[in-house]
């Protein structure tokens, strides 16, 4: 649930909605009943607008500082509101149930550095280490593609032309261009890092929904899966032509390779 982008890992989540929603709602499942206490209503109001409460109840939990760090990486809340929410969450969903840390013997050393993306709540996806050393990601909820220079920490986000594109998977072509799947918009995007220009290649079939994970083959053709469409697609970057193949079996969700 972190909104932090690292060189090897990024996981993102949701923005704050300021209106009230029904308290026990959970997306795609049975209602979740939170323990009573000060802060319960705030959690139900602020959180379920973007994700199910099961993200909280089925997680490992955090101490108060952990919840505070996590929430600040998602949304901007008034200090008093954040304090009430984190106190409630730490009291009811602490890190006590988290598995113990296991130390692995040996000389191995891991250095982890994290950066907060410019658009909080953007749900950054699929970090990509490009050939020039930069790190790219897709900000699914903010309709952006982002770039990080790990050397100086500079970050830039490119706003997509089509609203509600829902960028998801991302990859790099041999020429250095950045390609991404617009999961919600139903197209493949090409971003030129030198100019910031973005081209869109839309699906030729209205039944081809939710393009998901892109991969280049050795011949320079871009293949991609189509979630909830039971299809696989191929794009020729030279001509812009897209070919779609329907899977024989009735696969409901095809997300990756």
- Do 130 and 213 lie in one domain? The reply is yes
- Do 138 and 83 lie in one domain? The reply is no
Structure tokens at 88: 């409630």
* pLDDT of the residue at 3: 41
- Do 47 and 158 lie in one domain? The reply is no
- Do 89 and 135 lie in one domain? The reply is no
Q: Mind listing the pLDDT tens digit of every residue in the chain (257 residues)? A: 334 444 333 333 233 323 233 334 444 456 788 999 999 999 998 887 667 788 888 888 899 999 998 888 788 889 999 999 999 999 999 877 677 778 888 887 888 899 999 998 888 989 999 999 999 999 999 999 999 999 999 999 999 999 999 999 999 999 999 999 999 999 999 999 999 999 999 999 999 999 999 999 999 999 999 988 889 999 999 999 999 998 876 544 445 54
- Do 92 and 140 lie in one domain? The reply is no
* pLDDT of the residue at 136: 97
- Do 155 and 201 lie in one domain? The reply is yes
pTM: 0.66
> How far, in Å, CA of 198 to CA of 165, rounded?
12
Range of the domain at 43: 4-97
- Do 50 and 143 lie in one domain? The reply is no
Residue 70 lies in a domain: yes
User: Where among 56, 82, 97 does a domain terminate?
Assistant: 97
Residue 104 lies in a domain: no
* pLDDT of the residue at 234: 96
Give the other-Cβ count within 10 Å of 171's Cβ. Answer: 20
Residue 179 lies in a domain: yes
* pLDDT of the residue at 28: 45
Tally of domains within the chain:
2
* pLDDT of the residue at 107: 83
């Amino acid at each position: 649930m972190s909104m932090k982008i690292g060189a090897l890992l990024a996981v993102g989540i949701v923005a704050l909605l300021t209106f009230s929603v029904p308290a026990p709602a959970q997306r795609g499942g049975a209602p979740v009943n939170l323990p009573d206490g000060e802060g319960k209503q705030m959690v139900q109001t602020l959180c379920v607008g973007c994700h199910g409460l099961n993200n909280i109840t089925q997680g490992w939990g955090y101490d108060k500082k952990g919840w505070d760090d996590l929430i600040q990486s998602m949304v901007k809340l008034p200090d008093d509101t954040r304090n009430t929410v984190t106190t409630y969450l730490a009291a009811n969903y602490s890190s006590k149930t988290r598995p113990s840390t296991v130390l692995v013997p040996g000389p191995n050393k891991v250095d982890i550095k994290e950066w907060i993306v410019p658009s909080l709540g953007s749900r950054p996806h699929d970090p990509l280490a490009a050939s020039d050393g930069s790190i790219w990601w897709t900000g699914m909820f903010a309709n952006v593609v982002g770039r990080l220079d790990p050397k100086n920490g500079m970050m830039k986000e490119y706003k997509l032309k089509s609203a509600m594109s829902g960028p998801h998977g991302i990859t790099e072509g041999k020429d250095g261009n950045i390609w991404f799947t617009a999961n919600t918009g139903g197209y493949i995007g090409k971003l030129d890092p030198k100019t910031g220009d973005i081209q869109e290649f839309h699906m030729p079939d209205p039944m081809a929904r939710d393009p998901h994970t892109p991969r280049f083959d050795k011949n320079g053709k871009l293949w991609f899966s189509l979630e909830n469409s039971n299809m696989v697609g191929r794009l020729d970057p030279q001509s812009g032509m897209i070919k779609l193949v329907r899977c024989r079996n009735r696969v409901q969700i095809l997300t990756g390779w």
